[in-house]
């Protein structure tokens, strides 16, 4: 599994440790190994947020059950709702803090103009 944690600036080590104290035992219980990801602080983020995670599992076709046949005790793979929810939270936060986000966007554009000439073959922004 890979996971991306987005944290507000100034997040204490204690908060991050508490988050991992919840993630780690659940992953172990399910036999999931965390193989990568990213943790960072971002202006405009007001509270810890899972910016995304990817889990890949292996199984034969007969082990996969469509949602309409799910029963109590089945393992569930969720691909849509939580991602939409996270996006909605980000949109809500962005609307509340759009002036601050505009400031950082302009600042990023200035940095990009300065840095791009130094790395013309490999530098890009999204």
Give, in order, the Cα–Cα distances in Å from 37 to each of 2, 6, 29, 48: 5, 11, 20, 15
Q: What is the pLDDT of residue 58?
A: 75
**Residue 66: partners with Cβ closer than 8 Å, 6 or more residues away:** none
Indicate the pLDDT class of residue 126, thresholds 50, 70 and 90: very low
Q: What pTM was estimated for this model as a whole?
A: 0.48
The pLDDT tens digits for 46-93 are 888 777 788 877 777 777 777 677 777 776 665 666 666 766 777 777
More confident residue, 12 or 116: 12
**Domains of the chain and any CATH numbers:** 1-57 (3.30.1330.10), 79-126 (no CATH)
In angstroms, the CA 9 to CA 40 distance is 9
Contacts of 100 (CB under 8 A, 6+ apart): 43, 44
Contacts of 109-115 with CB under 8 Å at 24 or more apart are none
91-118 residue pLDDT tens: 777 777 777 777 777 777 777 777 667 6
CA 37 – CA 35 distance, rounded (Å): 7
Q: Is 103 helix (H, G, I), strand (E, B) or coil?
A: helix
- Confidence grade of residue 124 (pLDDT, cut at 50, 70, 90): very low
- Position of tokens 């962005």? 94
What's the pLDDT at 103?
A: 78
């Amino acid at each position: 599994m890979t996971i991306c944690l987005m944290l507000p600036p100034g997040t204490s080590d204690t908060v991050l440790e508490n988050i991992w104290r919840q993630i780690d035992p659940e992953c172990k219980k399910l036999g999931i190994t965390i193989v990568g990801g990213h943790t960072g602080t971002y202006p405009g983020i007001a509270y810890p947020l899972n910016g995304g995670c990817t889990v890949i599992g292996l199984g034969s076709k007969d082990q996969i059950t469509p949602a309409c046949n799910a029963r109590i005790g089945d393992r569930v793979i969720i691909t849509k709702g939580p991602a939409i929810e996270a996006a909605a939270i980000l949109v809500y936060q962005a609307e509340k803090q759009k002036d601050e986000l505009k400031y950082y966007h302009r600042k990023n554009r200035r940095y990009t103009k300065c840095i791009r000439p130094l790395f013309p073959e490999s530098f890009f922004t999204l």
